[in-house]
Amino acid sequence: MSLQSSDPALITTTHLVKSEDLNHHQTLYAGRCVEWCVQMAYIAAENCFNEARPVVFMSIRSLSMRTPARLGEILRFEGRVDYIGESTIGIKVDAWKLQPKDDPRPVATGTFLFCTVDEQGRAVAHGLPALAGASSASQRRWKQDDLAVGRSPA
């Protein structure tokens, strides 16, 4: 279930941790959490446009598992645009335990890079405006990642 928050740049969704999401320690399998994070990041990247555009995944820039999630816990995933390149979009995703509400625990945090492409799958400028308020250090880090992947989307 996707929910739009009062902040139009922030996209949220929730997931219930079910038995098929668990690893051999009976906590959320990291691979499942990665799947949910990438989905959240894709939705946040696609949300930059008024109409659907060809947006493809390029890289996981960072991902950290913070607190184990257990069977029956509800997780809230938040995705926000963190970088705008010429053809790329960097997304930051944070996942939190929904309860207890007075002491939310972070489950995962990560950054993900996406690229707009043409019909042949080549990177193409998306025409989005630069991200307002982004620090120059953050922009430099993203730009390095943008160049490192050679703008060749997967």
For residue 117, being part of any structural domain is answered with: yes
Model confidence, pTM: 0.85
39-91 confidence digits (pLDDT tens):
999 999 999 999 999 999 999 999 999 999 999 999 999 999 999 999 999 99
Q: Which CATH number characterizes residue 112's domain? A: 3.10.129.10
Residue ranges making up the domain that contains 127: 2-148
Q: Per-residue confidence at 153, pLDDT binned at 50, 70, 90?
A: very low
For residue 153, being part of any structural domain is answered with: no
Spatial neighbors of 89 by CB under 8 A, at least 6 apart, are 45, 48, 55, 81, 83, 113, 114, 115, 116, 126, 128
How confident is the model at residue 135, as a pLDDT?
67
Q: Per-residue confidence at 149, pLDDT binned at 50, 70, 90?
A: low
| Residue 62 C-alpha from the chain's centroid | 10
Spatial neighbors of 33 by CB under 8 A, at least 6 apart, are 65, 69, 95, 107, 108
* Token representation of residue 95: 């996942």
Mean pLDDT of the region 122-136: 85
For residue 61, being part of any structural domain is answered with: yes
92 forms beta bridges with 80, 111
For residue 121, being part of any structural domain is answered with: yes
For residue 154, being part of any structural domain is answered with: no
The tally of domains found in the chain comes to 1
Q: Per-residue confidence at 140, pLDDT binned at 50, 70, 90?
A: confident
